[in-house]
Chains A and B, each alone.
Chain A
Amino acid sequence: MTATQERPAEQVEREIGKDRRRKEDQRLITGRTRWTDNITLPGMLHLAMVRSPFAHATITSIETEAAKASRNVVTVLTGEDLADTQGVLINAWPITTDQVAPTHLPVAIGRVAFAGEVVAVVVARTAAEARDAAELVDVNYDELPAALDLKEACAADSNNGVLAHPDLGTNKSAFWKFDSAEAGTGGDVDAAIEKARGDGIVIEREYRQQRLIPAFMEPRSTVVDPTGEQITMWSATQIPHILRFALAATTGVPESKIRVIAPDVGGAFGGKLQTTPEEWIVFAVARRLGKPVKFTETRSESLMTGHHGRDQWQKLTLSAEKDGTVTGLKVELTTDLGSHVALLGGGVPVLGAFMYNAIYKFPAYQFNCQTVLTNKTWTDAYRGAGRPEATYAIERIMDELAVEVGVDPFAIREQNWITHEEFPFTSVCGLEYDSGNYEAATAKAKEVFGYDELRAEQKQRRESNDLVQLGIGISTFTEMCGLAPSRVLGSLNYGAGGWEHASVRMLATGKVEILTGASAHGQGHETAFSQIVADRLGVPFEDVEVLHGDTQIAHKGLDTYGSRSLVVGGEALVLAVDKVIERAKPLAAHLLEASVDDLEFAEGRFSVRGTDQGLGIAEVALAAFAAHNYPEGTEPGIDAEATYDPINFNYPHGTHLCAMEVDTETGAVKMRKYVCCDDIGNIINPLIVAGQVHGGLVQGIAQALWEEAVYDDAGTLVSGSFVDYLLPTAADTISFEVEHTTSPSLTNTLGTKGVGEAGTIASTPAVVNAVVDAIRHLGINDIQMPCTPERVWKAIHAKDGGGDKPTEGAAMPHFDASEPGTDSTEGAGQ
């Protein structure tokens, strides 16, 4: 690790920076896990969903008698039956005040707007019996034309094209714009482009961010028990606090009567950052029947109805001087919301709005985004949420600029990036990047990668017309995370704040209980937070217990997403711990019969300066508990809590290098090497950080090479199982070389930056840049993602000598369930 700033000398770190093995693992490796689907309660009933096979249709009739008569079925409920109790699903971030959003009922009434939408719910004593009965529910539909193509949907209105929701008269939901000239943070981009057309360079490109599926390994599951004083919901969610709030806000049940628990959650990646129809249905049915109810989705249901990610067309116009100095960037996005505006739906592209300019000193910048409704599954956050899209676009187009100017792609970046000396730097969007060192990260990455050697090999392969060509892809990314300063969220019309909360309880026996509002689902918070507390409070790592994920225990929080848990949650924790020390000081002084000003606190001990007298923090905690002897006018207690609202976003950065081999005979691509040097500020646990980077890398690489949610002309998801939605295995991926430089954050005490999404944000353009770089000499400047062998091969062998024509993939799945176009409820729900 290359430290570019020294840590404060007085902070003794025994735990922070250490490769502590995780506390979470003992249970997880022995199968003593607590997934929501494990939960069994007395008298618990099971649900099966009857789902629309059609993307858009009116429901003409629902016949439930046969299903109701099926073995051990309790009841079958339609949307009409649940109309009064099911509530509604809300969008918590209307990005404009005039945003158009169709009402989203958990169970559809009258019309379905996406394939997979729930039209009826079967309640039975076992899941198998519920499923059997679901097959007997007879639903008749009148199929309607479905709005499927994003560009066509954008252009449609009541007279032309197909509307996803006919009564809305449009598919356009909201138009959001940022202009640096208007904002006063930069120049006029249109003028810059105009000028460049005359005496500079203008590069115009259109890129496709394909639709992805978060595909966490644990299918979603919800259990609701209405039999207690409070209604308890367990759900495989990453947002238990937000879920509780939303349930209260939309169902009329008082917030204090709702308890939400996220037990062990098996991965989320933004895909469980949602308020879902299934959760609302389980809640409504449990309340109605007065009995515990469970619903666990199948993988097919998950891929089809769990919210999808990305799905944008990106038009970019970049202007530069003839020498490659950038002068302006204009971004025009058309983004697919799916059938309804999800919890953070329209906001995801906006989260990327300030990142297209990235690490470069653009003097003028404009971002335009039109969000569009279609009859597909709704979209929302997926790892990176808006920032991978931004980084992809800018890192791809910077390579294009390099080619245009005729320089190495690193040279064009170095020419335009913010130099180390220029930090803190206010970007053309008005964001202040606190710290960074692109030069150091790049130098390190290049060295470990063997950049010069690989360029030499590339040259040799080109000259000898090797059937296997080599490409090198670069991605010098930054991102904005640590969501988020609440005032900024307010100014963006986001429905909640961005603070985080921590409570520290000093138990009488010397143990420490931490309550955090963060909600881990694999990130190792229990371990990392224990390390922080151990160092700060001077208590043994093993003595710290971290509680989370239960609104009745860790009562206050805004949950986990946007790489915020360490930088925001960790900061709240630090503040709370510091308050504990402050509260303990007078009690310690009193007990030591010394003046508060003579006390020092170090490594868990209060000592009287100049003497060997002292008290450990655990002794002070016990004294507080006993309360036999404490200063008058104070409370007998040293517990403390803190709510921290970040003052800025957080700006990790990194340089990623990818070497890809392209088999020009088949179009197959193979990753040869991947090196990254990420600067995420100070590192609490290097092991956990490396894991986050590895996992993020593979998801970003998978977008580049394998994943795509594909719909056929009828609006059915044809990549609806893991047979067709391709996730890589260990056999498809390589080992990575992960390095770090350290530019501590200036905006939080620990100097940390977020890392959870960084790998995903950076890697996709690194991979695609490499594939394009391998075959650019054949006249190709783009391959649409995912870079399938067919697309690569067709680009190489296209009759017009190459180019960026996207290819159509015919949409037949390998494992075809039913004849398309048949009106049948068979297979309508799995």
Chain B
Amino acid sequence: MTKIELTVDGASVSDDVEPRMLLVQYLREKLGKTGTVIGCDTSNCGACTVHLNGRSVKSCNVLAVQCDGAEVTTVEGLSQDGTLHQVQESFRECHGLQCGFCTPGMIMQSIDLLNENPNPTEEEVRLGLEGNLCRCTGYHNIVKSVLHAAGASTGSTTESQEVSA
């Protein structure tokens, strides 16, 4: 067992973990943070995406022991005092989710995408989400959600804010 100390969603935690424990397993099994999920075993689906030291990573592809001293943010750490993050709001507004399984990972990656590129084109959004699979939505409304969040954050109106059938 190896001791790790890190900050997860703003809270300090300390645990003894097996070195082989993946970060996603640590989050789910040790911390009970089941908002982050496992969708595959080849790091293709991105459903496990969290932020590690401010950058999006696939938590199935990081060992918990590698996170000693690090700061991790999951989907459960986004909302401040009950106020949703803009990206969360936009996903609801634009129907960017159906079953919700890919959604936490999709939201975390979308936030990272917008952190790096606050005003992306549709193509840039689509490329920026290439590491996240969704089976329900066909991506159309996910893309709309991200563009909506970009528009809302930068204060400009985008055509994507009209939600049409």
Direct A–B contact present (CB less than 8 angstroms): yes
- List which B127-147 residues lie within 8 A (CB) of chain A: 127, 129-143
Q: How distant is B67 from chain A, measured CB to nearest CB, in Å?
A: 18
Please indicate the chain B residues that have their CB under 8 angstroms from the CB of A22 in the complex: 92, 95
> Counting CB contacts under 8 A, is B76 at the interface?
yes
Bound together, the chains give a CA A695 to CA B137 distance in angstroms of: 4
> Counting CB contacts under 8 A, is B57 at the interface?
no
Establish whether residues B35 and A298, one from each chain, have CB atoms under 8 Å apart when the complex forms. Answer: no
Establish whether residues B93 and A727, one from each chain, have CB atoms under 8 Å apart when the complex forms. Answer: no
Please indicate the chain A residues that have their CB under 8 angstroms from the CB of B84 in the complex: 29-30
Establish whether residues A686 and B138, one from each chain, have CB atoms under 8 Å apart when the complex forms. Answer: no
> Counting CB contacts under 8 A, is B23 at the interface?
no
A 341-375 binary contact with B (CB < 8 Å = 1; else 0): 00000000000000000000000000000000000
Establish whether residues A266 and B101, one from each chain, have CB atoms under 8 Å apart when the complex forms. Answer: yes
> Counting CB contacts under 8 A, is B115 at the interface?
no
B 70-105 binary contact with A (CB < 8 Å = 1; else 0): 000011101100001000100111010111111110
A 324-346 binary contact with B (CB < 8 Å = 1; else 0): 00000000000000000000000
Q: How distant is A668 from chain B, measured CB to nearest CB, in Å?
A: 17
Bound together, the chains give a CA A393 to CA B29 distance in angstroms of: 48
> Counting CB contacts under 8 A, is B47 at the interface?
yes
Please indicate the chain A residues that have their CB under 8 angstroms from the CB of B99 in the complex: 216-218, 264-267, 521-522
Establish whether residues A218 and B101, one from each chain, have CB atoms under 8 Å apart when the complex forms. Answer: yes
> Counting CB contacts under 8 A, is A35 at the interface?
yes
Bound together, the chains give a CA A123 to CA B29 distance in angstroms of: 18
- List which A249-263 residues lie within 8 A (CB) of chain B: none
> Counting CB contacts under 8 A, is B118 at the interface?
no
Please indicate the chain A residues that have their CB under 8 angstroms from the CB of B42 in the complex: 299, 721-723, 815
Across the interface, A299 reaches (CB within 8 A) one of B39, B88, B137, namely: B39
Establish whether residues A269 and B135, one from each chain, have CB atoms under 8 Å apart when the complex forms. Answer: yes
> Counting CB contacts under 8 A, is B8 at the interface?
no
Establish whether residues A522 and B76, one from each chain, have CB atoms under 8 Å apart when the complex forms. Answer: no
> Counting CB contacts under 8 A, is A80 at the interface?
no
Establish whether residues B75 and A31, one from each chain, have CB atoms under 8 Å apart when the complex forms. Answer: yes
Bound together, the chains give a CA A26 to CA B143 distance in angstroms of: 19
- List which A74-128 residues lie within 8 A (CB) of chain B: 128
CB within 8 Å for A35 and B37 given contacts A695-B98, A723-B42, A730-B142: yes
> Counting CB contacts under 8 A, is A611 at the interface?
no
> Which of A19, A267, A759 has most chain B Cβ within 10 Å?
A267
Q: How distant is B45 from chain A, measured CB to nearest CB, in Å?
A: 6
Bound together, the chains give a CA A216 to CA B107 distance in angstroms of: 19
Across the interface, A31 reaches (CB within 8 A) one of B35, B39, B45, B98, namely: B35
> Counting CB contacts under 8 A, is B163 at the interface?
yes
Establish whether residues B40 and A729, one from each chain, have CB atoms under 8 Å apart when the complex forms. Answer: no
Across the interface, A30 reaches (CB within 8 A) one of B79, B93, B134, namely: B79
> Counting CB contacts under 8 A, is A59 at the interface?
no
Please indicate the chain A residues that have their CB under 8 angstroms from the CB of B93 in the complex: 21
Bound together, the chains give a CA A28 to CA B103 distance in angstroms of: 7
Q: How distant is B162 from chain A, measured CB to nearest CB, in Å?
A: 11
Establish whether residues B39 and A698, one from each chain, have CB atoms under 8 Å apart when the complex forms. Answer: no
CB within 8 Å for A32 and B35 given contacts A128-B18, A217-B45, A733-B138: yes
Interface size on B, residues (CB 8 A): 58
> Counting CB contacts under 8 A, is A497 at the interface?
no
Q: How distant is A309 from chain B, measured CB to nearest CB, in Å?
A: 13
> Counting CB contacts under 8 A, is A203 at the interface?
no
CB within 8 Å for A699 and B41 given contacts A687-B163, A731-B130: no
Establish whether residues B165 and A738, one from each chain, have CB atoms under 8 Å apart when the complex forms. Answer: yes
**Closest residue on chain B to residue A740 by CB atoms:** B165
Bound together, the chains give a CA A696 to CA B136 distance in angstroms of: 8
> Counting CB contacts under 8 A, is A469 at the interface?
no
Establish whether residues A38 and B141, one from each chain, have CB atoms under 8 Å apart when the complex forms. Answer: no
Establish whether residues B141 and A522, one from each chain, have CB atoms under 8 Å apart when the complex forms. Answer: no
> Counting CB contacts under 8 A, is A602 at the interface?
no
> Counting CB contacts under 8 A, is B122 at the interface?
yes
Establish whether residues A695 and B138, one from each chain, have CB atoms under 8 Å apart when the complex forms. Answer: yes
Bound together, the chains give a CA A148 to CA B34 distance in angstroms of: 40
Please indicate the chain B residues that have their CB under 8 angstroms from the CB of A722 in the complex: 40, 42, 44-45, 133
Establish whether residues B34 and A35, one from each chain, have CB atoms under 8 Å apart when the complex forms. Answer: yes
Establish whether residues B47 and A217, one from each chain, have CB atoms under 8 Å apart when the complex forms. Answer: yes
Bound together, the chains give a CA A733 to CA B84 distance in angstroms of: 29
Please indicate the chain A residues that have their CB under 8 angstroms from the CB of B59 in the complex: none
Establish whether residues A733 and B139, one from each chain, have CB atoms under 8 Å apart when the complex forms. Answer: yes
CB within 8 Å for A216 and B135 given contacts A29-B97, A731-B129: yes
> Counting CB contacts under 8 A, is B55 at the interface?
no
Establish whether residues B34 and A730, one from each chain, have CB atoms under 8 Å apart when the complex forms. Answer: no
Bound together, the chains give a CA A216 to CA B133 distance in angstroms of: 10
Bound together, the chains give a CA A504 to CA B134 distance in angstroms of: 34
Establish whether residues A25 and B97, one from each chain, have CB atoms under 8 Å apart when the complex forms. Answer: yes
Q: How distant is B84 from chain A, measured CB to nearest CB, in Å?
A: 7
> Counting CB contacts under 8 A, is B3 at the interface?
no
**Closest residue on chain A to residue B105 by CB atoms:** A217
Bound together, the chains give a CA A216 to CA B75 distance in angstroms of: 21
Please indicate the chain A residues that have their CB under 8 angstroms from the CB of B141 in the complex: 690-691, 694
Please indicate the chain B residues that have their CB under 8 angstroms from the CB of A25 in the complex: 91-92, 97, 100
Please indicate the chain B residues that have their CB under 8 angstroms from the CB of A696 in the complex: 138
> Counting CB contacts under 8 A, is B56 at the interface?
no
- List which A266-289 residues lie within 8 A (CB) of chain B: 266-267, 269
Please indicate the chain A residues that have their CB under 8 angstroms from the CB of B38 in the complex: 37, 219
Bound together, the chains give a CA A735 to CA B34 distance in angstroms of: 32
**Closest residue on chain A to residue B124 by CB atoms:** A731
> Counting CB contacts under 8 A, is A419 at the interface?
no
Bound together, the chains give a CA A35 to CA B34 distance in angstroms of: 8
> Counting CB contacts under 8 A, is A688 at the interface?
yes
Please indicate the chain A residues that have their CB under 8 angstroms from the CB of B127 in the complex: 731
CB within 8 Å for A217 and B102 given contacts A21-B93, A698-B138, A723-B44: yes
**Closest residue on chain A to residue B101 by CB atoms:** A266
Q: How distant is B24 from chain A, measured CB to nearest CB, in Å?
A: 11
Bound together, the chains give a CA A281 to CA B76 distance in angstroms of: 34
Bound together, the chains give a CA A722 to CA B135 distance in angstroms of: 13
13 more contacts with CB within 8 A, not counting A722-B133, A731-B129, are A29-B97, A29-B100, A29-B107, A30-B88, A31-B33, A216-B99, A218-B101, A264-B100, A521-B99, A730-B142, A733-B140, A735-B143, A738-B165
- Residues of A at the B interface (CB closer than 8 Å) are 1, 19, 21-22, 24-33, 35, 37-38, 128, 215-219, 264-267, 269, 298-300, 521-524, 683, 686-691, 694-699, 721-723, 727, 729-731, 733, 735-736, 738, 740, 759, 815, 830
- Residues of B at the A interface (CB closer than 8 Å) are 18, 20, 28, 33-42, 44-45, 47, 74-76, 78-79, 84, 88, 91-93, 95, 97-104, 107, 122, 125-127, 129-143, 163-165
Q: List 14 A-B contacts (CB under 8 A).
A: A29-B92, A29-B107, A31-B34, A32-B35, A216-B135, A217-B47, A218-B37, A266-B101, A269-B135, A299-B42, A687-B163, A697-B138, A733-B140, A738-B165
Pairs of residues from A and B, 6 with the lowest C-beta to C-beta distance, nearest first? A31-B35, A266-B101, A522-B99, A28-B100, A686-B165, A694-B138
